[in-house]
Chain A
């Protein structure tokens, strides 16, 4: 099946939940939905379209727009397509439903995003520090207002 066909099918099925949908190249589908409906849409994408294998998840911080854009990247094992499911959450109070019940493999990625970007995944089974030290209190490193300069100076000015 061609990416364009899937794109038009997704548009038809999800209707007004689609905020942005494009397929700039073969095998890549970018889909943006409202953050409140992520869990419901993820379930439908898995059951009705068959996107079954999670390969990545994370987020990008946009302080100017005051949002954090989250993404989950899912591979379709039969059609060999990659879906990049996105949603935007408020930067002050970032909260979204965890998709671990739909795709168990995103668990570690969501845990990492919770730690590095400060996004609260509701319903996640194991939200505790993963990469950073357990007593880390210096903020969320992947946010844009987290400055690396004080950490660099320890190792010399040349970096």
Chain B
């Protein structure tokens, strides 16, 4: 016998399942849920199970790609994550380049690196904004991070012609060279942005209230992070020094000198902190790439057909490692593309956490946003 009662919010539905337990639906139209649904099993205070119900925006991108040529595939792939399009696209383009057996020219690699790091900053800013909102720091930090994305979006518009989903990377290079005035403007923006990071740290990330809210909550140990296959800043916040940019360098990352941000705590605070630190690293990487940028062409010719074979390519997106596995049968279209995005792996950790430690209902939004979830990414 289960009685259905309406919760306090028009979006939340509660179902009683017996033993004083309730099944609480957060989503798919809940303010905190995004395009997915969390099914939370709770007794009103303690959470016993979180189930991530995804697939509300499943577009079948893997299947669609089998019907597209390698270049046409760019368009569906980069719509997986609108905030982080170029990092996602790099995964696909890098795998295609491996299948085709071509190498982009050095200058293209540097331009790619700059665009990808700008995208990482954009992605992390949004993630930090949402984390602050979920921890009830809404009025200030979320608006700051949203406003601070604008100068970078303007820069990308100057370079690529669009604010997002710009299809800027193609197999064999990038579509265009850097326009006049771009480098100076980017350097100025970076100088300004470094000061903004200090503001975030002072007002928010090192603030005692925020630390009290997040420290020691949702701890993922190093062992668990590896077993569950966690990705990205979440993995590094649990003390695993894995960064695809360092471990398997692609684009120009092999020629640049930067550090991997790690934290040993593995709690929600560490995951937020890691993102702030990574923005500093990104600023550093962009500066180095601007200093060391070689001259030359930005695109090579692309053969229409690959040799039959398979390629596996890993890339570090804003949310973590994404890997693309392409099987080719020698035609101009791929035979099979398997994309494993970062959020898909991070969601599994969210499901496992309440089984290993005490999570309270009030912690759920903070917990989930500390992992920086993105449903379109996981749904494909």
Is residue B62 within 8 Å, beta carbon to beta carbon, of the partner chain? yes
How many Å lie between the Cα of A84 and that of B340 in the bound state? 14
A-B contact pairs, 22 of them (CB 8 A): A27-B248, A28-B312, A30-B310, A55-B229, A55-B231, A60-B336, A73-B312, A77-B242, A80-B247, A80-B248, A82-B314, A84-B325, A103-B229, A109-B340, A130-B54, A130-B55, A132-B55, A141-B60, A142-B62, A146-B63, A148-B60, A148-B67
Residues of A44-65 whose CB lies within 8 A of B: 52-56, 58, 60-61
- Asked whether, in the complex, the Cβ of A103 is within 8 Å of the Cβ of B227, the reply is yes
How many Å lie between the Cα of A132 and that of B62 in the bound state? 14
Residues of A within 8 A of B (CB): 27-28, 30, 52-56, 58, 60-61, 71, 73, 77, 80, 82, 84, 103-109, 116, 129-133, 141-142, 146, 148
How many Å lie between the Cα of A10 and that of B108 in the bound state? 39
Contacts of A108 in B (CB 8 A): 344-345, 347-348
How many Å lie between the Cα of A129 and that of B228 in the bound state? 20
Residues of B324-375 whose CB lies within 8 A of A: 325, 327, 335-336, 338, 340, 344-345, 347-348, 352
How many Å lie between the Cα of A60 and that of B380 in the bound state? 17
- Asked whether, in the complex, the Cβ of B312 is within 8 Å of the Cβ of A82, the reply is yes
- Asked whether, in the complex, the Cβ of B67 is within 8 Å of the Cβ of A131, the reply is no
How many Å lie between the Cα of A60 and that of B334 in the bound state? 12
Contacts of A84 in B (CB 8 A): 312, 325
Q: Interface size class for chain B?
A: 35 or more
Residues of B within 8 A of A (CB): 54-55, 58, 60, 62-64, 67, 226-231, 240, 242, 247-248, 310, 312, 314, 321, 323, 325, 327, 335-336, 338, 340, 344-345, 347-348, 352, 379-380
CB < 8 Å: which of B62, B228, B310, B312 contacts A105? B228
Known: A53-B226, A55-B321, A105-B348. 16 other contacts (CB 8 A): A52-B226, A55-B229, A58-B325, A60-B327, A73-B323, A105-B227, A105-B228, A106-B229, A108-B345, A116-B62, A131-B380, A141-B63, A142-B62, A142-B63, A148-B64, A148-B67
- Asked whether, in the complex, the Cβ of B312 is within 8 Å of the Cβ of A104, the reply is no
How many Å lie between the Cα of A112 and that of B242 in the bound state? 26
Contacts of B248 in A (CB 8 A): 27, 80
How many Å lie between the Cα of A73 and that of B321 in the bound state? 13
Residue among B54, B229, B340 with the highest chain A CB neighbour number at 10 A: B229
- Asked whether, in the complex, the Cβ of A73 is within 8 Å of the Cβ of B347, the reply is no
- Asked whether, in the complex, the Cβ of A58 is within 8 Å of the Cβ of B240, the reply is no
